Amino acid sequence: MSNNRESTIGKAADIHICIKMPKEVYPLGLASTTSTTAMLVMGDTLAISLLKSRNFTLKIFHGYIQVEYLVDYYYKYATLCVVVMQYHTSMHKSHYARCTARND
C-alpha cells in the first residue's frame, strides 16, 4: 500500500493498493496525520477482510499462539518497563540533587 504506484514499494510489490490521499491536515506540513490514519484504516480493513474470508476464529488463533509464549513475552515487556522506570526515576533524582546543591 502506498500513494504512488511508481514508488520503490509500488514497483517491488506483486500487488499494489494505491491510496490517494488529500493534503496532510497538519498545518505546518511537518507531521504525517492524514496519511498515517488512512494507512491504519486500510491495513485494518485488509486484515479483517482476510480474517473473514479465511473463516479465522479464536479457536484457530489459540492453535497458533501458545499461552507460554504470551506469558513470557509480557513478562519480558513488564520487566523492561520496570527497568526503564527505575532508570528514569534515578536520573530524575540525580538531576534534582544537582539542582538543589547549586541553590545552596
Whether 44 contacts 37, CB under 8 Å: no
If DSSP codes are grouped into helix, strand and coil, which group holds residue 18? strand
Pair 46, 15 in one domain: yes
Pair 51, 1 in one domain: yes
Distance, CA of 44 to CA of 95 (rounded, Å): 43
Pair 52, 29 in one domain: yes
Per-residue pLDDT band for 97 (boundaries 50, 70, 90) equals low
Pair 70, 50 in one domain: no
Per-residue pLDDT band for 59 (boundaries 50, 70, 90) equals confident
Pair 48, 75 in one domain: no
Domain coverage including residue 103: 66-104
Decide if 75 is inside a domain.
yes
Task: Give residue 51's pLDDT.
Answer: 86
Decide if 24 is inside a domain.
yes
Task: Give residue 58's pLDDT.
Answer: 80
The total of structural domains in the chain comes to 2
Whether 38 contacts 23, CB under 8 Å: no
Please give the model's pTM, rounded to 2 decimal places.
Answer: 0.50
Pair 27, 48 in one domain: yes
Distance, CA of 10 to CA of 12 (rounded, Å): 6
Pair 36, 77 in one domain: no
